[in-house]
Structure 1
Amino acid sequence: AVSRYVYLNKPIAVIIKNEVHEARSMLKMRLKAYVLDIRYEFPFASEMTETVIQELLQQRLVTPDQMAAVVEAKQK
């Protein structure tokens, strides 16, 4: 596991769905995992979000412009 917050004795699931938003296809990724303590739920979510974004950019699977478009779409 990548996170210090995750409880490894429970299952971890990654769900990826294809959604269409404003005539554009987008992949929506959802990570389901148990945390060691309920207080870690939001730090875990933030950490995983940052890790995934950083890795997508580093592997050049998305561009910074594409990431900005996702943020813009969420604000509408």
Structure 2
Amino acid sequence: MKKELKMSDECESGGCLCGTVKYEFDKSNLISSHHCHCVDCQKSTGSGKATILMLPTQAIVMKGELKFHTTPTASGRNM
């Protein structure tokens, strides 16, 4: 995406550890947030939980090339 958000107190930014992917979003557009404590989320984050944020597509700016990995979960669904 090539749009820019105006950074303010309402904006958050971050990215992956290697720095290839960066993101920025406006907190005022947050629809929902929660923590998942399932074993799959614990494995994928290396912690006791995964933080999940739901935002409208137009409220987040992503920079860098995303890569995806799919793995089956205990329920048989893909994550």
Greater relative CO (CA pairs within 8 A, separation 6+): 2
| TM-score, normalised with respect to structure 2 | 0.28
Normalized per residue, the structure richer in helix is 1
Normalized per residue, the structure richer in strand is 2
